[in-house]
Amino acid sequence: MDFIEFLWAYILVFLLSATPFLEACVVIPISIVAGLSPAPAIILGLVGNILTVLVVILFVNKIKEWRRRRKEGDVEKGESKRTKRAQNIWKKYGLPGLAIIGPMFVGSHLTAFMSISLGGTKKRTFYWMTISITLWTIVLTILAVLGIDLLGREDDGFLQNIFQ
């Protein structure tokens, strides 16, 4: 694989990690299984995911206003299952619990939005979401690396095979 192909692969890691519902904790292990170097993949994936969560946190009031305007014409259906589940987690474990548990069920972006909507401050939400994203990414990356080692495929990423 030449330099340009590697560069595009890492740019793709950044962009996919920044995409809601794909998340760094999913993209990074896949990129490592694909044969990319773990250190740059982890750094780029975390930065991409955390930056877009920060954007959600900073613009949460604009997002709420947009959702309110969008729902004005809709018939009120009540709270969704996701919202009820988030409220239950919030009541039981607070912001740290929702930040740690939420990304595995609804993604980090929606968890950040819900955390602020349920009463978390922007600063504390960003702090706990950064911890959560980093924690889940490290755990799932370690599992991916151990899985690669257990299979004896550490030097046989499928991206390397595709570009050859």
92-124: per-residue pLDDT in tens? 999 999 999 989 888 999 999 999 988 999 999
143-155: per-residue pLDDT in tens? 887 876 555 555 5
Cα distance between residue 77 and residue 92, in whole Å = 25
Which of 69-73, 117-121, 128-132 shows the lowest per-residue confidence on average (mean pLDDT)? 69-73
What are the residue boundaries of the structural domains of the chain, listed by start? 3-71+79-162
Average pLDDT, the chain: 84
At 88, the pLDDT band (50, 70, 90 cuts) reads confident
Q: Where are the beta strands (DSSP E) in 15-86?
A: none
Cα distance between residue 111 and residue 103, in whole Å = 6
